[in-house]
Structure 1
Amino acid sequence: MDIGTRLFRTALLGLAGNRAARALSERYGMKLGASRFVAGETMEEAIAQAKRLNAEGIAVTLDFLGESVSSLEEAQVSERSYKELIRMISHEGINGNVSLKPTQFGLALDRKACEEGIRAVVNEAAGHGLFVRLDMEDSPWTDATIQIVQMLQDEGFSNVGTVIQAYLYRSGRDVQAMTANKMNLRLVKGAYKESRRIAFESKQEVDDNMRRLIKARLDSGIYTAIATHDQRIIRWVQSYTRMRAIPRSKFEFQMLYGIRNPLQRSLAREGYKVRSYVPFGRSWYPYFVRRLAERPANVMFVVKSVVWRN
């Protein structure tokens, strides 16, 4: 990653937590181009998009946006919303599961209350035969997120897993430990602003570590979600799994809603399991900014969208 791109990404990620920028953006709703990356503001809109993706042979994981709540009352709203979402997925026959963020359940406010809320959602999902993914947020929450998932597994819940980010130095050790515990993982490169003290800076280093983590998981035989839009890594996975005779039932490719749609459809037609990460809700701003920070081309898409509307 060159200096200019790094500065661009850092500046945008700095806006993700800016309350004034967030309020200004959300006032204009989806008009800023967020609709490319966010499936809608309501559960009904997200379910409609999930059905469309299912019709194309693509599974989904639905994410009700709303990280870093400021009160336990907001956390309780998240719990109720996820339970309703799980019931709707089951009722509508959606091929999908759910993803949630621990800070959305009050992790920064009350650890015990957060655990109780997440446990209630995982229990609801278990009753409907659905899986729950605890998304990995920025590094202050890594240990707690892993501990919560491990706690739930120890309690007998087999329908829960989490995410490991390849740009963190610690991720090799985390994958080794969680693989030993047979934990279902999603592997990603990582999209938060992190210090060079704890994270790789260059794209090549992150890509190399991503391959190491994928290889370790594929060799283990434990089910793994490989979340990337990088065609070089996807081709490498295809080649490696053919060479090692690893069945496609042991892994899936995951991509974000609205990104590389033709590639998602192409992989699905080839017989690979593909899952689209489908976020929705009114608190879309931080997620939207991280998508813009990933690629300058995403910013140009938004600029063109705004100009076209005006």
Structure 2
Amino acid sequence: MGVTKNFFIGLSKNQALNSAAKKWGLKLGAGKVVAGTDIKSMMQSVKELNANGISATIDSLGEFVHTEEEATKAKEAILKTLEAIQIYGVNAHMSVKLTQIGLDIDTAFCLKNIQEIVAAAASYDIFINLDMEDYDHLQQTLDILKTLLQEYENVGTVIQAYLFRSEKDVENLQNVRLRLVKGAYKESAEVSYQEKKEIDENYLKLIKIHLQAPGYTSIATHDHHIIEQVKAFVKEKNISLDRFEFQMLYGFRSEMQKDLAKEGFSFTTYVPFGKDWYAYYMRRLAERPQNINLALKSMISK
């Protein structure tokens, strides 16, 4: 399993394949987990989710950003998507990767871009979630979040349970809307738990801490064991259902998503779209190798 995960993580970082994938369209099974390559097709998917009582957090995909021109183009695509959320009147917010808008180029430049995005979102009453990336970008992301929170309330971030420091980070962000995840990157044993059991235990611990804090909690998992334990905990502690939501990725466990919404739980689906789908899809295969079968079937049927 570890070898397979490392293989797909490696593929996700291959810029040549990423560039080629932009010309392929949604192939290799990616159409199952990426909601179209343009705003129109993505919005249709969001409308279908909304019809089932499910909200969306939209990700305008984009990676391997090395120039200010590329970062500015990505920022403009995000602003266009925010405008579309307003125009289409859908129940949705956005998730943004800071590297996509220049974090690796210049921190001040990136901050200016995300300030523009958060300000535009605030004018539409739309929330912006700063997606968390690998450990090397963690502190930079939290520093930018801190700066944004001095002026805006419509912004939060993601905390990854496999990192040793995450409990302290959650405690420092008690008043902030957080998406809690197990973690999708490969990190060293110096900074992260390596065993599934340890990660699961820490994940549940972080969820319980933040559910009892003032900030809103987004519990992003496909693990039904975790979900059942959360249900029992909120019932035991009498935590209001409007204090948290469950989240899952677009195209995964769709029936469970609908069922949780029908049970009365707030639910949000992470909806990625765009031509730059390749790296995102490879990471999903790395996380869930059983989806390799899905990719193989797709290739064979072409």
TM-score, length-normalised on structure 1?
Answer: 0.95
**Do residues 204 (structure 1) and 200 (structure 2) align?**
no
Secondary structure, aligned partner of 1:290: helix
- Percent identity over the alignment is 42
For residues 75 and 52 of structure 2, the distance between their equivalents in structure 1, rounded to whole angstroms, comes to: 30
Offset, 1:65: 0.4
Match of 2:266 in 1: 273
- Deviation by residue 1:147-167 (Cα, 9 ceiling, x = unmatched): 111101112x00000000011
Letter in 2 for 1:34: A
Match of 2:173 in 1: 178
For residues 288 and 117 of structure 2, the distance between their equivalents in structure 1, rounded to whole angstroms, comes to: 33
Match of 1:133 in 2: 129
Match of 2:55 in 1: 59
Offset, 1:168: 0.9
Secondary structure, aligned partner of 1:275: strand
Q: Choose which of 214, 220, 225 in structure 1 pairs with 2:218.
A: 225
- Deviation by residue 1:142-188 (Cα, 9 ceiling, x = unmatched): 00111111101112x00000000011111111111111xx1110000
For residues 130 and 217 of structure 1, the distance between their equivalents in structure 2, rounded to whole angstroms, comes to: 22
Letter in 1 for 2:110: C
For residues 72 and 273 of structure 1, the distance between their equivalents in structure 2, rounded to whole angstroms, comes to: 38
For residues 27 and 81 of structure 2, the distance between their equivalents in structure 1, rounded to whole angstroms, comes to: 25
For residues 21 and 123 of structure 1, the distance between their equivalents in structure 2, rounded to whole angstroms, comes to: 35
Secondary structure, aligned partner of 1:31: coil
Aligned length: 302
Letter in 2 for 1:79: K
For residues 70 and 176 of structure 1, the distance between their equivalents in structure 2, rounded to whole angstroms, comes to: 34
Secondary structure, aligned partner of 2:173: helix
Q: Choose which of 83, 90, 98 in structure 1 pairs with 2:86.
A: 90
Offset, 1:31: 2.1
Q: Choose which of 110, 113, 118 in structure 2 pairs with 1:117.
A: 113
Offset, 1:79: 1.5
In structure 1, runs of 5+ residues without a counterpart are none
For residues 220 and 133 of structure 1, the distance between their equivalents in structure 2, rounded to whole angstroms, comes to: 18
Letter in 1 for 2:257: Q
Match of 2:181 in 1: 188
Question: Superposition pairs for residues 7-18 of structure 1, below 5 Å?
Answer: 7-18=3-14
Secondary structure, aligned partner of 2:156: strand
Match of 1:37 in 2: 33
Offset, 1:74: 1.1
For residues 64 and 16 of structure 2, the distance between their equivalents in structure 1, rounded to whole angstroms, comes to: 16
Secondary structure, aligned partner of 1:191: coil
Letter in 2 for 1:233: I
Match of 2:159 in 1: 164
Moved more, 16-25 or 70-79: 16-25
Question: Superposition pairs for residues 228-243 of structure 1, below 5 Å?
Answer: 228-243=221-236
**Do residues 76 (structure 1) and 72 (structure 2) align?**
yes
For residues 19 and 150 of structure 2, the distance between their equivalents in structure 1, rounded to whole angstroms, comes to: 41
For residues 43 and 148 of structure 2, the distance between their equivalents in structure 1, rounded to whole angstroms, comes to: 27
In structure 2, runs of 5+ residues without a counterpart are none
Match of 1:48 in 2: 44
